[in-house]
Amino acid sequence: MAKELKDLTKRSDNYSQWYNELVVKADLAEQSAVRGCMVIKPYGYAIWEKMQRQLDDMFKATGHQNAYFPLLIPKSFLSREAEHVKGFAKECAVVTHYRLKTDKDGSVIVDPAAKLEEELIIRPTSETIIWNTYKNWIHSYRDLPILINQWANVFRWEMRTRLFLRTAEFLWQEGHTAHATSKEAEEEATRMLNIYAEFAEKYMAMPVVKGVKSPTERFAGALNTYTIEAMMQDGKALQSGTSHFLGQNFAKAFDVQFVNKENKMEYVWATSWGVSTRLIGALIMAHSDDNGLVLPPRLAPIQVVIVPIYKNEEQLKLIDEKVSGIVEKLKVLGISVKYDNSDNRRPGFKFADYELRGVPIRLVMGARDLTNNTMEVMRRDTLEKENVSCDNIEIYVQKLLDDIQNNIYQKALKFRDAHMIPVDTYDEFKSKINDGGFFLAHWDGTAETEAKIKEETKATIRCIPFDGDKTPGKDMITGKPSKQRVIIARSY
Amino acid sequence: MAKELKDLTKRSDNYSQWYNELVVKADLAEQSAVRGCMVIKPYGYAIWEKMQRQLDDMFKATGHQNAYFPLLIPKSFLSREAEHVKGFAKECAVVTHYRLKTDKDGSVIVDPAAKLEEELIIRPTSETIIWNTYKNWIHSYRDLPILINQWANVFRWEMRTRLFLRTAEFLWQEGHTAHATSKEAEEEATRMLNIYAEFAEKYMAMPVVKGVKSPTERFAGALNTYTIEAMMQDGKALQSGTSHFLGQNFAKAFDVQFVNKENKMEYVWATSWGVSTRLIGALIMAHSDDNGLVLPPRLAPIQVVIVPIYKNEEQLKLIDEKVSGIVEKLKVLGISVKYDNSDNRRPGFKFADYELRGVPIRLVMGARDLTNNTMEVMRRDTLEKENVSCDNIEIYVQKLLDDIQNNIYQKALKFRDAHMIPVDTYDEFKSKINDGGFFLAHWDGTAETEAKIKEETKATIRCIPFDGDKTPGKDMITGKPSKQRVIIARSY
């Protein structure tokens, strides 16, 4: 067994360490020399590219266009919306100078003469710079809606960082839309949450709970924040995407008014929505196992790897020939396939390596397979092996990729559903929270109760779910009336 | 005629103003509230996406992978390579603090307690942070080559900015490769320059001259800089892409050594190469005319627009039906088509607008066309119109797109070749430089002569071209020996 694999901590021993090791060993990302910033390595970035391509298609299919706004935001812009600046002030990277110079002793220093009149903030999010721009674009209801998305890097100075899950710089997309009515904006915010949920379930094979955040957990400056919450294998929640109904807050802060159909001036209604490289962390934690990554075929950079087993060059040549035809047939079906006939690693090492990297299907051809016109097929999700005829094997593989995609989803769904735990008393909740899971509990809707839960159990209200039981009840702590059960969990 | 179009300055009146107006009127980009930073609007960004997709495919086809490195670079890293920091020090945006706070009077200020120990620079380019990372990735010749590209934003504090051509923040790709031998690195630098040239000519329809930069014009830290230089319609040069052979400079600065095949320690050889959103400026200036943009079909966000002309709803309905079948057929061929049957603008306004936006082909269907089973086809490059049968019109359109692509290229090539001007005396050069063009002159290879030309004529040595006449001669100013003619021009 390959060294990398042997060394991987087991999930049951230390889930957190297993994750940290896996990200590095599977060559997805590593810490950089800049505090809190990661290097996304080619294999990790290839997953992000697959995510981007799919999400981008979904955004465009719903009428959105991409654009690009400045990286830097004047401090005064960020300060314009009171809640917004309160939410981000503590995490701002501030640009104060625009030049370096060589000091008398030859060292390179910041030129004190090149101080900016107004400091600039590296965008933690772009509502302010974008709404300042929209002001010039929107005059009449005819200019609406504006449906724009941006793929960008953002920066939030986090103190405790973890690769993909929480980094100072991360990559994301941020949608920023402008609408003539509150209703349209609400519909847009819901539409985009549904797109995120569809992406999570169909492509990431990761079931999610859709719901609304409590006022405490809202995006700074929003009237409502909608979220998709996924359950990781340790029972913790991972907020995987959010969509915000911003009301008229940013329009008011930047004085963006339009002439409506009734010929009256009105402030514009807004939404914003985003997902980030955090999704890669979610993907890893949702499916992977003690052998390494388990990637859903739809997001796997390599869907099929083919490894030859041979005793001599002559055998290899025959296998190469046979495999090249199969590779072509797989490619025609749009399947991304890698034939690894490199001679610098033994087959056993290759097997362990591709398992670690989560390649969904491994095909092996040895001398006997060549004679029998067969290949050994291994599926990464279950590690099951089977011998399959080479005739029409591309059809077999195509179907198997669908099966794996579906199986990974069903497995995650089953796990999630098995860990949705209704609790009726605070004692019961406290006795079970350490084991993880999504707890369905009644909450009186107050920030005080919410704060108490967080302080005493480190769990938070993840969302008030849209679907499911809406039966009223009594808060598990205060006994006050509750409209419906909410989801409480520890989270990443 | 639409107002936007009427207002567009003519190229012959003021080429520079024509460009500035066109970028804004065609909705490509605009100045932002942050000095020197632009907002790339959806139509401009759509061109960038087309460029990105094509270049990315070409990079991947030559074995490159994408990755992502941090936005911020420690000041000490930037200072490690002496020439490099000298080249970029004056343009550095410097992050000095990591937090804002609310002052006693309620205003938001930079928290003086949150000063960074070491300042961070927003990347003007990423050689330093990347080579610091490569240090951990490279141990043996088996780890080489590393062929990585990054799509990213970079920041250079420019004093005089122009949309796309020179902005403080711009989007680009930067390739950073590591090799075991000097020869391999040189080959890589040449390979990527050739890819840039192929992209410029085949996709942007823009002929380029490939060559090497004079030592003065080299990238800060490179041993050689290769360039593609394109001629704009005013006869000025626009450096459109560069590829650098970095030798072992960055490997030495970051102590990146490897065990070579002879089992000896050696410094790694490097290249870097990049193109940016500047290419959009080149694209505009190379082809567009007094009616607006002229886009080569391969990079046009909308390749075909269809406009109906109708007297009443009944007619429109019939045209809608007829056109929908044509739209489908065009889409099947991979042609991006827009059917604009919106009723908020008259046909004449639409015509002018799509001309301004450079849509390569316009199809019009009126009541008579409906009867005759025809459409009026207008090609944007020549503004010629023709009536064409609707039967197999998709094939006609597909061929016409190829014709337009080719015609735009040939036109630019003819213009360029007509303005390649051999000059033998400095007086002749000075008398002609105001009219623009690429001047082929003998140069003695000294920085002194180069500086004199720049100072006295504002023209610079664009490159020592790879192809063409290599006959030796005498420097047009000093009379000293010259190995071959170089290209001298004013430039953007």
> CB distance B110–A101 less than 8 Å?
no
The number of CA neighbours under 13 Å toward the Cβ of A14 is 9
Q: Would you place residue A204 in the very low, low, confident or very high pLDDT band (cuts 50, 70, 90)?
A: very high
To 10 degrees, the CA torsion angle through A337, A333, B301, B163? -10
Query: What's the whole-number mean pLDDT along residues A178-199?
Result: 98
Residue A269 pairs in a beta bridge with: A179
- The CA distances from residue B147 to B60, B134, B313, in Å, are 10, 11, 58
Query: What's the whole-number mean pLDDT along residues A436-457?
Result: 97
Q: Where are the alpha helices (DSSP H) in A62-120?
A: 75-78, 82-88
Q: How far apart are CA B437 and CA B429, in angstroms?
A: 11
Q: In chain B, what is the straight-line distance between the N-terminal and C-terminal CA atoms, in Å?
A: 32
> CB distance B100–A92 less than 8 Å?
yes
For testing contact with chain B, the best of A40, A51, A95 (most B CBs within 10 A): A95
Domains annotated on chain B, with CATH = 27-97+107-287 (3.30.930.10), 302-403 (3.40.50.800), 420-489 (3.30.110.30)
- The CA distances from residue A385 to A300, A388, B449, in Å, are 20, 10, 73
Structure tokens that stand for B438 in this block: 């690429």
pLDDT, tens digit, 9 for 90 and up, residues A218-248: 999 999 999 999 999 999 999 999 999 999 9
Q: Is pLDDT at A3 greater than 60 in this prediction?
A: no
User: Considering only CB atoms, which chain A residues are within 8 Å of B100?
Assistant: 75, 78, 85, 89-90, 92, 94, 121
SS (H, E, C) B2-45: CHHHHHCCCCCCCHHHHHHHHHHHCCCEEECCCCCCEEECHHHH
Q: Which residues contact A294 (CB under 8 A, 6 or more apart)?
A: A287, A288, A358, A380, A381, A408
Helix, strand, coil % over all residues of chain A, rounded to 5: 40, 30, 35
With CA atoms as reference, the chain B residue closest to A301 would be B65
> CB distance A32–B157 less than 8 Å?
no
Burial B351-382 (b: 16+ CB within 10 A, else e): bbbbbbbbbbbbbbbbbebbeeebbbbbbbbe
Question: How is residue A289 annotated by DSSP?
Answer: B
Q: Where are the alpha helices (DSSP H) in B62-95?
A: 75-78, 82-88
> CB distance B95–A93 less than 8 Å?
yes
Helix axes A278-287, A393-418, angle to 10 degrees: 90
Q: How far apart are CA B343 and CA B347, in angstroms?
A: 9
With CA atoms as reference, the chain B residue closest to A111 would be B90
User: Considering only CB atoms, which chain A residues are within 8 Å of B37?
Assistant: 70-72
> CB distance A133–B93 less than 8 Å?
no
Helices (H) and strands (E) in chain B, counts: 15, 27
Question: How is residue A34 annotated by DSSP?
Answer: S
With CA atoms as reference, the chain B residue closest to A100 would be B89
pLDDT, tens digit, 9 for 90 and up, residues A111-149: 999 999 999 999 999 999 999 999 999 999 999 999 999
Q: Which residues contact A442 (CB under 8 A, 6 or more apart)?
A: A424, A473, A474, A475, A476, A482, A484, A485, A486
Closest among A211, A270, A268 to A240, alpha carbons compared:
A211
- A78 to chain B, minimum CA–CA distance in Å? 9
Q: Where are the alpha helices (DSSP H) in B335-474?
A: 347-356, 367-372, 393-418, 426-432, 447-457
Q: Which residues contact B155 (CB under 8 A, 6 or more apart)?
A: A71, A72, B93, B122, B123, B124, B168, B169
pLDDT-flagged residues of chain B (< 70): 1-6
Q: Which residues contact A59 (CB under 8 A, 6 or more apart)?
A: A66, A149, A173, A175, A195
User: Considering only CB atoms, which chain B residues are within 8 Å of A32?
Assistant: 69-70, 129, 133
With CA atoms as reference, the chain B residue closest to A171 would be B68
> CB distance A40–B67 less than 8 Å?
yes
> CB distance A71–B96 less than 8 Å?
no
User: Considering only CB atoms, which chain B residues are within 8 Å of A108?
Assistant: 75, 78-79, 85, 89
Q: Pick B68's closest partner by Cβ from A99, A129, A171.
A: A171
With CA atoms as reference, the chain B residue closest to A95 would be B95
Closest among A238, A64, A256, A211 to A147, alpha carbons compared:
A64
Cβ-in-10-Å burial (0-12, 13-18, 19+) of B29 comes to buried
pLDDT for the residue numbered B1: 44
Q: Pick A67's closest partner by Cβ from B45, B65, B94.
A: B45
With CA atoms as reference, the chain A residue closest to B76 would be A108
pLDDT for the residue numbered A289: 97
pLDDT above 90 as % of chain A = 95
- B425 to chain A, minimum CA–CA distance in Å? 41
With CA atoms as reference, the chain A residue closest to B79 would be A108
A81 in helix, strand or coil?
Answer: coil
Sign of CA dihedral B394, B399, B402, B407: negative
Q: How many CB atoms lie within 10 A of CB B461?
A: 22
Q: Pick B45's closest partner by Cβ from A48, A68, A73.
A: A68
Closest among B173, B174, B165, B172 to B38, alpha carbons compared:
B165
> CB distance A94–B97 less than 8 Å?
yes
Question: How is residue A262 annotated by DSSP?
Answer: T
Cβ(A433)–Cβ(A439) under 8 Å? yes
> CB distance A169–B67 less than 8 Å?
no
> CB distance A98–B94 less than 8 Å?
yes
> CB distance B108–A78 less than 8 Å?
yes
Q: How far apart are CA B344 and CA B338, in angstroms?
A: 16
For testing contact with chain A, the best of B28, B66, B81, B98 (most A CBs within 10 A): B98
pLDDT for the residue numbered A5: 57
Q: How far apart are CA B80 and CA B129, in angstroms?
A: 11
- A vs B, Cβ pairs < 8 A, gives 195
Structure tokens that stand for B18 in this block: 């024509």
Cβ(B460)–Cβ(B489) under 8 Å? yes
pLDDT, tens digit, 9 for 90 and up, residues A254-292: 999 999 999 999 999 999 999 999 999 999 999 999 999
Place of tokens 């690195």: B185
User: Considering only CB atoms, which chain A residues are within 8 Å of B159?
Assistant: none
Q: How far apart are CA A314 and CA A201, in angstroms?
A: 46
User: Considering only CB atoms, which chain B residues are within 8 Å of A33?
Assistant: 70, 74, 77, 129, 132-133
Q: How far apart are CA A375 and CA B262, in angstroms?
A: 40
B155 in helix, strand or coil?
Answer: strand
Q: Is pLDDT at A301 greater than 50 in this prediction?
A: yes
> CB distance A39–B133 less than 8 Å?
yes
Q: Would you place residue A1 in the very low, low, confident or very high pLDDT band (cuts 50, 70, 90)?
A: very low
Q: How many CB atoms lie within 10 A of CB A150?
A: 20
Closest among A291, A273, A279, A302 to A206, alpha carbons compared:
A279
Burial A459-487 (b: 16+ CB within 10 A, else e): bbbbbbbeeeeeeebebbbbeeebeebbb
